[in-house]
Amino acid sequence: MLAGELYEVGLAVCSHVWPSNSKLTVCRGGGSNTTEWNHESQGPKMAKRFILQALKQILFNVPDFNELLSVAYLPNQSMAFHSDDEQGVQGFIAGLLLGSDATMDFCCKGDVKNCPTLLTVTLSHGDILVMDGDTIQQKFLHRVELFGYRFAATARFIAK
């Protein structure tokens, strides 16, 4: 499920993009880190299918995601405060979470040291976390802290 190089927040990452002939602006996982969807193994495809099946039971207008961002964490790792607002990333983002429990903290953009945590969400094995709306990424940062081995498969739609 995972390949790739170190990236901005110090984790290995790869980005799975489909269809293979699309010319997408892919953010962190782009370029040599990106596996064309047609060449991708079953894992990311299953993750996308699972997320879509689950969300379509309860939500309208779920996008047909065209990127799957996979992250594997070792027990001593975390993901630092960031927002998913790279060029082209659309506001509806859904992550399938596997493995150990984790917490996701949200705070306002600005000086992280002086910004209190506004919301902490506990994420458990099998949960799907949805962030819906550009405002979440424009105004807030999120980070992930965990307690053991963990994977996140984040489905996003990248506009051309």
Residue count of the chain, please give it: 160
What b/e string do you get for 31-60 counting C-beta neighbours within 10 Å, with b at 16 or more? eebbbebeebeeebeebbeebbeebeeeee
The pair of structure tokens assigned to 40 is 């991708």
Question: In angstroms, how far apart are the furthest CA atoms of the chain?
Answer: 45
Q: Residue 97's binding partner, choosing from Fe ion, ligand AKG, none, with beta-carbon cut-off 5 to 8 A by kind?
A: ligand AKG
The CB-nearest residue to ligand AKG is: 152
Count CB-CB contacts under 10 A for residue 116.
Answer: 7
Q: Residue 40's binding partner, choosing from ligand AKG, Fe ion, none, with beta-carbon cut-off 5 to 8 A by kind?
A: none
Is the CB of 16 or the CB of 142 nearer to ligand AKG? 142
Which residues lie near ligand AKG (CB under 6 A)? 69, 71, 79, 84, 95, 97, 123, 142, 144, 152, 154
Q: Residue 152's binding partner, choosing from ligand AKG, Fe ion, none, with beta-carbon cut-off 5 to 8 A by kind?
A: ligand AKG
Is the CB of 40 or the CB of 84 nearer to ligand AKG? 84
Site string for Fe ion, 68-87 (x = CB under 5 A): ----------------x---
The DSSP line for 100-139 is S-EEEEEEESS-GGG----EEEEE-TT-EEEEESHHHHHH
Is the CB of 62 or the CB of 152 nearer to ligand AKG? 152
For the chain, the straight-line distance linking the first and the last C-alpha, in angstroms and rounded, comes to: 25
By CB under 5 A, tell whether 67 contacts Fe ion.
Answer: no
Least Å distance between CB 36 and ligand AKG? 20
